[in-house]
Amino acid sequence: MMFVVQFTLLVVVIKHASGQTCLSNESKEDFDKSRQALTDVQENIGKVLNKLENDNKKTLDMFKETLNTMGQKIKKLDTDFKVLGKDFRKTKWHKYDGHCYYYSSEKADWFTAERKCREIGGYIVKIDDKKENSNIEANRANKSFYYWIGLIDLKEGEWRWTYDQMKAVFTAWCPGYGSKGTNSNCVLLHGSRTDWYEYDCHYKTYYICESNFCF
């Protein structure tokens, strides 16, 4: 609003001056003041524009740097995903209901089994229902092997899946098992049935891994 008023005053002064052969001292003083005011406004606008240009350049440079960093991360993820897929396909996985299951051919204690499952892109198996439990049992290469599953009770009697720390809703305990005491904190799938046994976590046997996606 101030810009408009000052500019209007300048126009009035100029028109008034053009109609006279000479300017009075008072008119000249008003003219000079109006001109100086407009000059100050012009300089301020120039400063604002320069600042906006500099700020926009900084913002643009920041976006370019962010995009470049994101591009590098995406490229690395693509590479890692290809390597993971290659390693995944080397391992024999059984597909069921959108998930994949791997039955180990080597023995390990429960803690080592849990780590090895993570190393190959999965987790030690979580069994959600009777149907999944039966499918896992049916697809074992060797029906006499006992397998570690991902159930553990770090707090006595409170059985949780290590995958998501959820309490077990479905269980398939062999009669008399499920509360054997502090020396039996990990769970085995029976060698020839679908029953579960709690056992010493340091015992070495086979294990089953699960993955939420399959290549």
- Domain boundaries of the chain, sorted by first residue: 25-87, 93-211
CA–CA distance, 120 with 102 (Å, rounded to integer): 10
pLDDT tens digits for 109-120? Answer: 999 999 999 988
DSSP letter string over 168-202? PSS--BPTT-S---TT--EEEE-SSSS-EEEE-TT
Residue count of the chain: 215
Does residue 96 or residue 1 have the better pLDDT?
96
Predicted TM-score (pTM) of the model is: 0.60
Q: Tell which residue, 3, 4, 2, 10, has the closest CA to residue 30.
A: 10
Report the top-level CATH class of 93-211: alpha beta
